[in-house]
Amino acid sequence: MSETEIEIEAPPERVWEVLANPHVYDEWVLGAQEVRDADESWPAVGSKLHHRTGVGPLSVDDETEVVQSDRPRRLGLRARARPVGEFSIELELEPTGSGGTRLVMREGADVGFVAHVPGTDASIGARNVLSLRRLKALAEETPTAHR
């Protein structure tokens, strides 16, 4: 299991707005190439986001499902990139004394061949450092600036 942490200069409610917008998922999740569709109820428990994941021409169409949703504190996801594997993801948001957010992302591969490859957690951690920097940039800009 990989754990990555970042401080974001925006309140948890603003960070949650980004997490709750399925149309920007591919802008902050490194490796997500395209959001193909999303349930209108995203990020309600059981809702799904359909995406293309991969690098360059090596990509797969699959989905991510919400398994836990506690606005604006915690989002639990089950990401599938079959046949590579399936991943459990938890995003935990905590307000800071300065009005920002401490975000902790935990992710682990627990199904598929990638779950048995040495170094998978380190690779996930490196990817998530970049993903959380992207999320930070989206959350720190004004709500209408990006759209």
Strand pairing class (2-8; 74-81): unpaired
Residue 139: enclosing H or E segment and its boundaries?
Answer: helix 120-140
Residues of the chain with pLDDT under 70: 142-147
Residue the block writes with tokens 């459990």: 88
Q: What tens digit of pLDDT does each residue of 24-55 get? A: 999 999 989 999 999 999 999 999 999 998 77
Q: What pLDDT is attached to residue 25?
A: 95
Rounded to whole angstroms, the Cα distance separating 54 from 59 reads 4
Q: What pLDDT is attached to residue 145?
A: 46
In degrees to the nearest 10, what's the CA dihedral of 134, 136, 141, 146? 30
Rounded to whole angstroms, the Cα distance separating 90 from 141 reads 23
Rounded to whole angstroms, the Cα distance separating 83 from 95 reads 37
DSSP E strand stretches across 71-128: 74-81, 85-95, 101-111
